[in-house]
Amino acid sequence: MRAVCDDSSACVAYSCGVTFIAVAIPVSRTDAVSRALESAQIAKSQGADLVEWRVDTLAEDPSGSATLIRLVQESPLPCIVTLRTESEGGAFSGSDDERIEMWRAACAAVPPPAYIDIELATYHRRVPMGDSARDIARFSSGSKLDAPRIILSFHDFHGRPAGLSSRVAEMWSDPGSAIAKVVWMARTPRDNIEAFELLASRAKPTIALCMGEHGLMSRILAPKFGGFLTYARMDDHGTAPGQPTTEELLRDWGFRSINRSTKVYGILAYPASHSRSPEIHNRWFLAANVNARLFAISVAPLWESFKATMLELFGHEPLDFCGAAVSMPHKENALRFVEESGGVIDQSTQRIGAANTIGRAADGRLFARNTDVDGVVEVLSSAMRSSGGDGDLRGKRVAILGAGGAARAAAFGVANRGASVVIANRTASKATQIAEEFAVACGDAPALDVTAKAMSALAKERFDVIVNCTSVGMEGGSAEGQNPLPEGVVLDERSVVMDAVYAPAQTALLRHASQRGAKCVGGWEMLIAQAAHQFEAWTGSRPPTDAAPAR
């Protein structure tokens, strides 16, 4: 087995660079043991290394001790025994005497558990715990090699705990613990970086993980920084927010191939949890054998928040943060950030005034690009050809709905290829500003045929192409299920309608357009097209054509 320990409490496999996957399985009743053991067997078949038996409430059962012995003895994997207190996110509300009785029972198993998790707060009480947590290991009647190792732990489900560094230092220095563990609820990406810093400076095997949406990076990148283990869940619930499944870790994240050289990318948006970009790029990275991973990073819709996050990510050298895909509402912020850092911006991106891609060039300087331009043009041209046309946008009348970064890119892309563009937005002044910027020649670049209107002014007009670049209709958004197009806009079989929203696949706009015979293009096609250009900007090569996920 991979999780074999020697008498110095250092795991042999861990010393060789393996970060374990531990699957947490709650067992609340004696009649749930058989099912729990079946779950552990499934976890083993999926690639887990350890099972954590969460027996918080089992101590209240008269048969709890015997049940725990069975769990330990029949466990298909080396196991951790945990009775987590209510104060640290568990369900145990009994006394220390009850916990000691359960630990004694676990140690009486043959073989005993590999580890017993004891909270630092419990360890502090000492009475009736004994002189130190090492006494727990002495409960075992086996040899020293068989004795359970102590995981001394601390958890905070509310945020970064006060005195974090001193608490971890205490766990490192105490000879009673073999492994130090600290887990807290992440509030920002900075929490992940602090977890990585703890791992980098560890004085003994350490588990440092962050919970919640912001903490996924710490769980996935544990091998990069030498974390002892990461936790996985068996079902939709898990024992802490943010735990992936074993299959997700191994299949989607390529957990076993993550190492110190793994490069890190992000999709920055607000919110970011709905983004399919991690799925797309991570499949391409794995298929192309590129040692990199991309994470969803939610950043509040403020310039200051975006700048602070970028500085933290790019500024932590061991993280190897090499670039970002940028979505709403940060595309203008992305351009500003690269400008202020003295990076390189190509002429079209500069003129658009928004970027969706940040990368690091070979000389270390940042660059900003806008691959939305290529994505929109490629997908629209393809749709026009599939409708019997030649795919040429020249002379076509195009309506762009919205006035954000995506709308800027779409308007520039189609106007730069000869289309006559109308930008429509609920706040007409924002659309007017974009139109005025594009209508002025810029260096060698000519003026573009771009005008602006209020959204309501589109009624009864006809366009060859309509592109929705607003979030109206987006699943989970404030305008979910709504159609951004004003009533009365003329649509027929000659029209092409594209919605940049990709979830749901069939938006209210596309249903409306389809019913009137228009050629419809979903946001998924555009997402894949622009993502392929991002991948090329970061890696220098196009992604594998057969590795993109299904819609």
Read off the pLDDT band of 11 (50, 70, 90): very low
15 pLDDT above the threshold of 50: no
Q: What is the DSSP letter of 57?
A: T
Beta bridge partners of 173: none
Cα(167)–Cα(215) distance, rounded to whole angstroms?
Answer: 20
Residues in contact with 15: Cβ distance below 8 Å, sequence separation at least 6, in sequence order: none
Dump pLDDT digits (tens) for 327-356: 989 999 999 999 999 999 999 999 999 999
Catalytic residue among 49, 56, 252, 372: 372
Length of the chain: 551
Cα(349)–Cα(347) distance, rounded to whole angstroms?
Answer: 6
Give the amino acid at 450. Answer: V
Contact 74, 44 (CB under 8 A): no
Cα(301)–Cα(364) distance, rounded to whole angstroms?
Answer: 27
42 token code pair: 């499934």
5 pLDDT above the threshold of 50: no
Contact 294, 277 (CB under 8 A): yes
- 181 classed as catalytic: yes
Q: Which of 508, 494, 501 is nearest to 525 (CA)?
A: 501
Q: Which of 263, 294, 328, 281 is nearest to 532 (CA)?
A: 281
Residues in contact with 127: Cβ distance below 8 Å, sequence separation at least 6, in sequence order: none
C-alpha dihedral sign at 106, 108, 109, 111: positive
Superfamily of domain 373-523 in CATH is NAD(P)-binding Rossmann-like Domain (3.40.50.720)
Tell me the CATH number for domain 263-371+530-539.
Answer: 3.40.50.10860
Cα(535)–Cα(368) distance, rounded to whole angstroms?
Answer: 13
Distances (CA, A) of 418 to 328, 393, 437: 27, 6, 17
Dump pLDDT digits (tens) for 141-168: 344 556 789 999 999 999 998 999 999 9
Dump pLDDT digits (tens) for 293-302: 999 999 999 9
* Phi, psi of 498, rounded to the nearest 5 degrees: -120, 135
Fold category of 12-256 in CATH: TIM Barrel (3.20.20)
Q: What is the pLDDT of residue 122?
A: 79
Q: Which of 358, 380, 381, 383 is nearest to 371 (CA)?
A: 358
Beta bridge partners of 473: 480
Dump pLDDT digits (tens) for 164-197: 999 999 999 988 789 999 999 999 988 999 999 9
Catalytic residue among 44, 181, 316, 330: 181
Q: What is the pLDDT of residue 409?
A: 94
393 token code pair: 């946008």
25 token code pair: 């399985």
500 token code pair: 């940049």
403 pLDDT above the threshold of 90: yes
Q: Which of 225, 124, 134, 227 is nearest to 170 (CA)?
A: 124
Q: Which of 422, 431, 495, 504 is nearest to 471 (CA)?
A: 504
Question: Residue ranges per domain, the chain?
Answer: 12-256, 263-371+530-539, 373-523
Across the chain, mean pLDDT equals 90
Q: Do domains 12-256 and 373-523 have the same CATH topology?
A: no
- 372 classed as catalytic: yes
Contact 9, 218 (CB under 8 A): no
Catalytic residue among 214, 263, 316, 331: 331
Q: Which segment, 51-65, 131-145, 210-224, is predicted with the most confidence on average?
A: 210-224
Catalytic residue among 155, 224, 263, 396: 155
Give the amino acid at 73. Answer: Q
Q: What is the DSSP letter of 155?
A: E
Residues in contact with 464: Cβ distance below 8 Å, sequence separation at least 6, in sequence order: 396, 397, 398, 494, 495, 496
Q: Tell me if the pTM is above 0.75.
A: yes
End-to-end CA distance of the chain: 39
